[in-house]
């Protein structure tokens, strides 16, 4: 099979975990860049008021910029806010501005408050292979909008103490949204992040996650890497900041695994960063 086969239909993946600092944003932007660098058309939807994904992609998101807030609250078209990412052909971003912090409350009184993002995505006419939605570290209406809009949930798990704590709540929310609003929603992908193969703790957590989730866990894990954490301050993903680094290679490999799984090809890559 080709390196990264393109999906037949747009795959909408929700990157969620209500814990902060587990690698949601890092995973969103680096997977998106990896997929785009291999010929996919990819849109990153920044759904976190912090706007870290927008920053990491070098996208202007100061207060006046048309943003995902306008899409959710004022029903602006997605095409009016999407910006191309410099340096990576085929990669686009719907940025978040600080306004989005208020959206969680403002949405409460609006009609179809849970499905505004879904509607906007369905009305978006540009062809896309992937839409990756970077969620805030909470399970409020912004994350619910993502879960209604997506089919797949991608959960990054940091290989640390209490890695699985709080996941039950996320999984219950996924079940609730699946039952009431979006029957196609499922957890398709678990990615182990900030993996440090030298520590016993990391391998214990990895084993625990694998025995808990099984097939959903990608064989590729993401190592802890200084290059990964440096890249956002240059408005870049690690894929352009340091393409040969272990961090870049591991995100490329994770993207390949996701792409292959999507077309039903069993992934049997053998790389040093794999766990187990
Ligand atoms: P979240 O979006 O879940 O809050 P982030 O993606 O922002 O998490 O990551 C939290 C912090 O950890 C950031 O400072 C980021 O640069 C850093 N980080 C994420 N993944 C890695 C990694 N593999 N190696 C080193 N640092 C990382
Ligand atoms: Mg984040």
Q: What is the structure's pLDDT at 88?
A: 97
**Positive/negative CA dihedral, 267, 272, 275, 276:** positive
How far apart CA 117 and CA 128 sit, in angstroms, is 16
How far apart CA 59 and CA 268 sit, in angstroms, is 36
Distances in Å between the Cα of 148 and the Cα atoms of 25, 176, 188, 263, 271 are 19, 11, 15, 23, 35
CATH topology of domain 11-262: Rossmann fold (3.40.50)
Give the β-pairing of 83-84 and 91-94: antiparallel
Does the CB atom of residue 39 touch ligand 1 within 6 A? no
- Each as own residue / partner, the long-range contacts of residues 269-273 (CB below 8 Å, 24 or more positions apart, any chain) are 269/219, 269/220, 271/220, 273/195, 273/220, 273/221, 273/222, 273/223, 273/246, 273/249
Q: What is the structure's pLDDT at 162?
A: 84
Q: What is the structure's pLDDT at 266?
A: 76
State which residues of the chain have pLDDT below 70. 1-2, 269-276
Q: From the CA of 19, which ligand is nearest?
A: 1
Q: What is the structure's pLDDT at 3?
A: 79
Q: What is the structure's pLDDT at 94?
A: 98
231 in Cβ contact with 220 (< 8 Å): no
Residue with the smallest CA separation from ligand 1 atom 26 is: 229
How far apart CA 80 and CA 65 sit, in angstroms, is 10
Give the β-pairing of 152-158 and 186-193: parallel
Residue with the smallest CA separation from ligand 1 atom 18 is: 229
Does the CB atom of residue 202 touch ligand 1 within 6 A? no
- Interface predicted TM-score (ipTM): 0.99
Q: Is 134 left (phi over 0), alpha (psi -120 to 50) or beta?
A: beta
- Site to probe by mutation for ligand 1, drawn from 23, 138, 248 as the one with most ligand atoms within 8 Å of Cβ, is 23
Summarize the chain as % helix, strand, coil (round to 5): 40, 15, 45
- Site to probe by mutation for ligand 1, drawn from 45, 96, 229 as the one with most ligand atoms within 8 Å of Cβ, is 229
Q: Around Cβ 212, how many Cβ atoms within 10 Å?
A: 14
Go through the chain and tell me how many residues it has. 276
Ion ligand 2: residues, CB within 5 A, are 24-25, 52
Any idea where the domains of the chain sit in the sequence?
Answer: 11-262
């Amino acid at each position: 099979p080709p390196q990264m086969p393109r999906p037949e239909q747009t795959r909408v993946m929700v990157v969620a975990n209500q814990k902060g600092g587990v690698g949601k944003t890092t995973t969103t932007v680096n997977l998106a860049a990896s997929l785009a660098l291999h010929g996919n058309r990819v849109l990153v939807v920044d759904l976190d008021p912090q706007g870290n994904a927008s920053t990491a992609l070098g996208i202007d998101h100061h207060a006046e910029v048309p943003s995902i807030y306008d899409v959710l609250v004022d029903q602006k078209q997605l095409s009016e806010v999407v910006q191309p990412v410099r340096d990576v052909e085929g990669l686009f971003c719907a940025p978040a501005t600080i306004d989005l912090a208020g959206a969680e409350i403002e949405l409460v009184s609006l009609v179809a408050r849970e499905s505004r993002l879904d509607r906007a995505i369905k009305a978006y006419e540009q062809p896309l292979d992937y839409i990756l939605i970077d969620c805030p570290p909470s399970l409020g209406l912004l994350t619910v909008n993502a879960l209604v809009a997506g089919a797949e949930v991608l959960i990054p798990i940091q290989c640390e103490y209490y890695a699985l704590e709080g996941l039950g709540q996320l999984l219950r929310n996924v079940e609730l949204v699946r039952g009431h609003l979006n029957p196609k929603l499922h957890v398709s992908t678990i990615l182990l992040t900030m993996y440090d193969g030298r520590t016993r703790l990391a391998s214990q957590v990895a084993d625990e996650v694998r025995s808990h989730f099984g097939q959903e866990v990608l064989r590729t894990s993401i190592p802890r890497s200084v290059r990964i954490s440096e890249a956002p301050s240059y408005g870049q993903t690690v894929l352009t900041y340091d393409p040969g680094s272990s961090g870049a290679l591991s995100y490329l490999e994770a993207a390949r695994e996701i792409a292959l799984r999507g077309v039903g090809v069993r992934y049997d890559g053998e790389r040093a960063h794999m766990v187990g």
